[in-house]
Structure 1
Amino acid sequence: MVILVVAALMILGPERLPGAIRWTAQSLRQVRDYASGATSQLRSELGPELDELRKPLEELNELRRPFNDLRGMTPRSMVTKHLLDGDDSLFTGKFDKPTSKSIGSEYAPPPGYTPPEPPKPLARNEKPPIDFDAT
């Protein structure tokens, strides 16, 4: 605003600036009155039909809402949100602290399932077992 006032002062000069501000304010007020008058005239002429017209417009705005959510999203945040369900440990490197909603959080093991025990560490100079079907 300050830049606009300084530019107007330089262009119009101090003697014409108050008149220009008055004219601008009056024009804005007149445009606002025209817009509110047109709205009230539409409401009085259309009545309940105006609400029926607004309903499809609101539905269109609802359809546009997901695209408005994409504004400001980076590729990293898109991948995190849509592919990784909000788990950003892949990007941050903090794998020890699971987020509240991580990958597979909706999975529940069947009742009575006990996970297998992890294998014992190998003793010194012990050869690892070989699975011939896997190699």
Structure 2
Amino acid sequence: MFESVGWGEIVVLVVAGLFILGPERLPSAAAWVGRSVRQVKEFANGARDQLRGELGPEFDELRKPLEELRGLRDLHPRNAVRRTLFDDPEPKPNGFAPGPNLTKSNGTPQAHPAAPQPPAPLARNERPPIDPDAT
């Protein structure tokens, strides 16, 4: 439930509670919060058990889309960028990784694009060519 709350945030909350409530009322407020969280969990578990009892096997079918929605938590932009930049592409069903489309518009295979040739090495004291558009 509180998987995204770290120790730093907990310390800040305790210190803020200490200043707001004072040392006399802080323990009773913490006990009240604990009881409230426990009661909410019990209500949620009771509702889930009641639904499972009433729906029977259909409950599991309703739960599958919810489990798929939980997988959408992966769609954080940082995770998407990391997956795009650093993970290998998944192979296609034909066994090849996704790449450029090598078929012409009429469906015939197109020749593989030629790799650019590296420039010839420069001779001693030769100045490299200058591209005025790149500067």
Q: Max radius of gyration: which structure?
A: 1
TM-score (norm 1): 0.47
TM-score (norm 2): 0.47
Q: Does 1 or 2 have the higher relative contact order (CA < 8 Å, sep 6+)? A: 1
